[in-house]
Amino acid sequence: MRFLMKFGGTSVADADSLSRTVDIIEEHHRAGHELAVVVSAQRGVTDQLIAIAQEIADSRSSATIEPFINSLRLRHMKVLSEVAGDCEGEVGDQMEERLCNLENILNAVHNLRELTPRSLDYIITYGERLNSLVVSAAIRQRGIPSMVMDGCEAGILTTPQHGEAMALPESEGRIRSRVQPLLTEMIPVIMGFMGCTEKGIVTTLGRSGSDYSAAIIGAGIDADEIWIWTDVDGIMTSDPRLIPDARVLPTISYLEVMELSYFGAKVMHPRSIEPAMKKNILVRVKNTFNPTHPGTSIVWHEKRDSRVVKALTYIDKVALINICGAQMIGRPGVAKAIFSALADKEVNVMMISQGSSEANISLIVEESQAGIAIDSLAGLVRQGLIREATANRDVCAVAVVGVGMAGAKGTGGRIFTALGHGGVNVMMISQGSSEVNISFVVTQEDGPKAVRILHDEFRLSEEDDA
């Protein structure tokens, strides 16, 4: 079989977890399978890179750069020396070269006091740049040939949107010709999270983007299966950090995972499903720390659960935009004007709801885009198309997901009755036309409570008896 295996930040966070990762790789290699590996940065490193880049672009002093570089060196060299023994010297030199580059770029950002989206993207790929060296060396240490490739060398060609780039269709053929021929000879270790534009400018694919890299590369090499290795046993009925009795789902459909990840379930990147779905590649989510657990399989057609609701998630970094005005009533083109104004400023609208009186339209946008959304609607106020647009940032969006909800009568009633009994006030409701998702908005404080209430209401901790 041919596998694409992606290992997340927690699977490569220290020497112990990295040895487990390499055990898994070695086992599948020795069993005669072909393998390509995608790796993330070590846990927390991307956050640190973003923080230092922002800090030194604003700061009068560059004093924090050197200690930061030293801490990265220490962290990665420690793991390297523990897992890569003989290979250490040669890889150590490559690591020094990368650290020196990073230091130079951070100094340049500081000298210019300018951090462009392009330079930030380049800087934040260094977590993957450093970690891939360590992982590949650890594989070679087990006597298995391996080399490192960055996302661009592997063939991921993207749109130029820094921080949220999307893979272009040409990537598939490029990956096939660059990565696939290597698989009979070695295990390529590919840096996740990044690609490049046609001009060779480095881009990143959004936070948690290594999952997306995995799907793009898995599709490009015609993998039989894509395995996402992480720190939980699979995709669960809710985030286990919020709901300790959340249960692992043995199977889930592509559509359900897309809805969950779109609404903030961190376990997968929202765009990581589509490339696999297009080619009907089975995706499995498995636990590096419990590899014998079967994990979750993501498939096309999911059996309907006896419980209509399968999983719950919530996202708190959102804002509710309320647009109102009696002049909106019965006036064609108002919705068009609103959405055009938002689209012109590249505001992504996550949820929409319109009152039947048409005097009110409510939208959910990312919290970071709330200010831009309000500014972009100010023109419509001046034109008299709407009376006012306001933003409420003290909200979160909860998504209730399950293919079984399609056509099941009374699910909405059950959801909102349970919330009402629990004292949760619902501020906005939206249901996708696919009926796989009912989402609603509550105050930030009520978000976790709403998820807890519905997890109990739909008995999600109990085994499926269908």
Residues that bind ligand ASP (CB under 6 A): 8-9, 40-41, 46, 127, 192-193, 207-211
- Directed axis angle between helix 126-141 and helix 45-58, to 10°? 150
Q: What are the backbone dihedrals phi and psi of residue 58, each rounded to the nearest 5 degrees, phi first?
A: -105, -15
Piece of 4-12, 14-22, 53-61, 243-251 that binds Mg ion (CB under 5 A): 4-12
127 makes contact, choosing from Mg ion, ligand ASP, ligand ADP, none, with CB < 5 to 8 Å by partner type, with ligand ASP
CB of residue 127 vs ligand ASP: minimum separation in angstroms?
A: 5
Closer residue to ligand ASP in complex, CB, 3/229: 229
- Kindly identify the residues of this chain, within the stretch 301-330, that bind ligand ADP according to CB under 6 A: 311
Ranked by CB distance to Mg ion, the top (closest) residue is 208
Smallest separation (angstroms) from Mg ion to the CB of 464 = 26
Residue 68 or residue 229: which is nearer to ligand ADP going by CB?
Answer: 229
As measured in angstroms, the least distance from the Cβ of 9 to ligand ADP is 4
Amino acid at 317: K
Q: Among 117, 242, 249, 137, which residue's Cα sits nearest to residue 189?
A: 137
Q: Which stretch binds ligand ADP (CB under 6 A): 144-152, 259-267, 368-376, 448-456?
A: 259-267
Q: Indicate which of Mg ion, ligand ASP, ligand ADP, none lies near residue 240 (CB less than 5 to 8 Å, by partner kind).
A: ligand ADP
- For position 265 contacting ligand ADP by CB under 6 A, the verdict is yes
**Residue 8 interacts with Mg ion (CB under 5 A)?**
yes
Q: What totals of helices (H) and strands (E) does the chain contain, helices first? A: 15, 16
User: What tokens were used for 447?
Assistant: 């978000």
Q: Give the footprint of ligand ADP on residues 170-209 (CB under 6 A).
A: 208
Nearest distance in Å: CB 427, ligand ASP: 30
Contact positions with Mg ion (CB under 5 A) in 192-211: 208
Amino acid letter at 133?
L
Cα separation of 126 and 69, whole Å? Answer: 11
> Token pair 């295996």 is at which residue?
5
DSSP state of 271: G
* Phi and psi torsions of 434, nearest 5°: -70, -15
Q: Residue 387: what are its φ and ψ, rounded to 5°? A: -85, -45
Would you say 248 and 235 are in contact if contact means Cβ atoms under 8 Å apart?
Answer: yes
- The reply to whether 92 sits near Mg ion by the rule CB under 5 A is no
Using alpha carbons, select from 74, 81, 188, 75 the residue that is nearest to residue 141.
81
What is the crossing angle of helices 334-344 and 370-382, to 10°? 130
192 binds, among ligand ADP, ligand ASP, Mg ion, none (CB under 5 to 8 A by kind): ligand ASP
Q: Which tokens belong to 398?
A: 């909860």
8 A C-beta contact, residue 25 and residue 186: no
The least CB distance from residue 308 to ligand ADP, in Å, is 17
Q: Return d(Cα 415, Cα 417) in angstroms, integer.
A: 6
Q: Which two tokens stand for residue 30?
A: 């020795």
User: Binding string to ligand ADP for residues 132 to 171, with x set by CB under 6 A, is what?
Assistant: ----------------------------------------
> In this chain, which of 132, 230, 376, 439 binds ligand ADP, going by CB under 6 A?
230
Residue the block writes with tokens 């609404």: 263
What is the DSSP code (8-state) at residue 167? B
> Contacts with ligand ADP in 1-20 (CB under 6 A)?
8-11
Query: Are residues 60 and 131 in contact, defined by beta-carbon separation less than 8 angstroms?
Result: no
Q: Which is nearer to ligand ADP, 152 or 265 (CB)?
A: 265
Sign of the alpha-carbon dihedral angle for 374, 378, 380, 384:
positive
231 contact choice in Mg ion, ligand ADP, ligand ASP, none (CB below 5 to 8 Å, kind-dependent): ligand ADP
List alpha helices for 179-252, DSSP H: 210-220
Least gap, CB of 266 to ligand ASP (angstroms)? 10
Closest to ligand ASP by CB, 128 vs 305, is 128
Token pair listed for 200: 């060779």
Q: Closer CB to ligand ASP, residue 151 or residue 325?
A: 151
Among 121, 128, 239, 457, binds ligand ADP (CB under 6 A): 239
Query: Is 163:121 a contact under the CB 8 Å cutoff?
Result: yes
Binding-site partner at residue 155 among ligand ADP, Mg ion, ligand ASP, none, CB < 5 to 8 Å by type: none
Q: How far is the CB of 42 from ligand ADP (least distance, A)?
A: 9
In this structure, which amino acid lies at residue 183? L
Residue given tokens 């014998």 in the structure block:
292
Residue 325 site contact among ligand ASP, Mg ion, ligand ADP, none (CB < 5 to 8 Å, cut-off depends on kind): none
Q: How far is the CB of 11 from ligand ADP (least distance, A)?
A: 6
Nearest 10 degrees: CA dihedral of 437, 438, 443, 449? -80
Binding site for ligand ADP (CB under 6 A): 8-11, 40, 208, 230-232, 235-236, 238-241, 260, 265-267, 311
Binding site for Mg ion (CB under 5 A): 8, 208
